[in-house]
Amino acid sequence: MGVGGGYYPDTKITDKEGDYLKVFADGGILTHPVAENYQFYFHTIIDVPGVVAANNFMSVFNPSGSGKTMAFFSVTVNSYATGVSSTATSLVVDRITAASGGTQVTASNINRLLTSWSNPVTELRTGNPAATKTGPTLFSWPPPLASGAGGEATAYSTPPPGQGFICVPGQGIVFSTAAGNTNQVWSINVNWAEF
């Protein structure tokens, strides 16, 4: 892997219970699932109404030439209905190879777990950015279906234990619905690391 903490996946020490140590390219040993040189970031959009047409709520993109790798660690999705909500279309997340338009969140306004960490290289966009999807859908979350105000759906997901879901430069993800209605309200929180 590239500079910045990648490890050789075929270089590890495993005990008979399956626990292991990973050996970094620089000779360091990883003894826990999160490498020391990871910097963690997160962003949340809150109470965003759905739209009748297709809509991209948020894209998280590692730009080409960034020199960084992104590892996603968790996503939390909450939704509720403010009125009649009968559009049975899930919120989905897909891989992307490009993102543009919408409203780009300035890097200094992206949250980090340690406030002294540098700005992320990630390009984060909201407000229906354009995104070039690739491959099959990765995951989905159900919409709130209700005959009046109050229906809700909440879900939390994490990738398999370890390094996390990876996006190299030129890759990212987008959260979208193929259809919806303005009575469906969504909140999305995404947590990732850069290294």
Considering only residues 123 and 37, tell me which one the structure prediction assigns the higher pLDDT: 123
Task: Decide: 68 and 194 in contact? Cβ < 8 Å.
Answer: yes
In terms of C-beta density within 10 A (0-12 exposed, 13-18 middle, 19 or more buried), how is residue 131 classed? buried
Coil vs helix vs strand at 15: coil
SS3 109: helix
| Type of residue found at 120 | P
**How do residues 37-90 score in pLDDT, each as one tens digit?**
899 999 999 999 999 999 999 999 999 999 999 999 889 999 999 999 999 999
- Encoded tokens for 187: 């909140």
**Helix and strand tally (H, E) in the chain?**
0, 15
Per-domain boundaries in the chain: 1-31, 37-194
The full DSSP string for 48-106 is EEP-SS-EEEEEEEE-TT----EEEEEEEEEEEESS-B-----EEEEEEEEEESSEEEP
pLDDT at position 146, please? Answer: 86
Q: Who has greater pLDDT, 143 or 153? A: 143
pLDDT tens string 4-20: 444 445 566 666 666 66
Look up tokens 């996503």; give the residue.
75
CA–CA separation, 114 and 98 (whole Å): 28
* pTM score of the predicted model: 0.79
Using a 10 angstrom Cβ sphere, with 0-12 exposed, 13-18 middle and 19 or more buried, the burial of residue 84 is middle
